[in-house]
Chains A and B, each alone.
Chain A
């Protein structure tokens, strides 16, 4: 299932990107060094971080999308840069745990 399909089924908002990458796993952490060395390509990465540095990490790890949970605001500069890099950013009021539990049910992993 693609990031877009997961977002739509869970009523999450796609802020940027095509969302056409396949979600093949999940990862949540806010320490960028942990994410870059432990997350896998294709993961849906859930983080409360909303600064520009998440984009470099997302692109280096090649995650399928980045989900910003808990109703945290994504600022304009983040959105602009994410659009440029074609990174799929998704916003939701759900908690990180809830996003992963529900998305996991959808994709059966």
Chain B
């Protein structure tokens, strides 16, 4: 891979969930084309998909910024949603605040944040009630 930093940007606007996962799919394709190992691509794709879905479910969308360097892949997903009131609970596998409608679509298993943690090397969450949440996901190459 070349030494330069590759930057990608996606708007996550998806009221009816029909395009949820598009940004993650785009990143997956780019990483595969760059020759990143399938194992690393899978980790990024899973973690980013969960963050993307969260932005759609809880905040009606947001933005994704991706930085690819020879050392790591950094995904930053930010939204202007309600924020996370109880971080400890949110990290518990199985805990979810998703609505019934969202659950009927197959989401809301309470696995989002645990999956992000499991498949990344570093994860940072910056959240303010009433203002929004920014999740930073880093996967080392």
Contact = CB atoms under 8 A, between A and B. Distances in A.
A in complex with B: yes
Interface stretch (B84-92, B111-119, B120-128): B111-119
Given A32-B106, A52-B17, A53-B107, A37 B22 contact: no
A52 B49 CA distance: 15
Counting chain A residues whose Cβ lies within 8 A of the other chain, the interface size class is 20 to 34
Counting chain B residues whose Cβ lies within 8 A of the other chain, the interface size class is 20 to 34
B34 interface: no
**Interface majority SS on B: helix, strand, loop or mixed?**
helix
Contact of B109 (A33, A41, A47, A52): A33
Contacts of A13: none
Contacts of B50: 33, 36
Interface string A47-73: 101011111110110000000000000
B1 interface: no
A52 B19 CA distance: 8
Interface string A14-40: 000000000000000011111011000
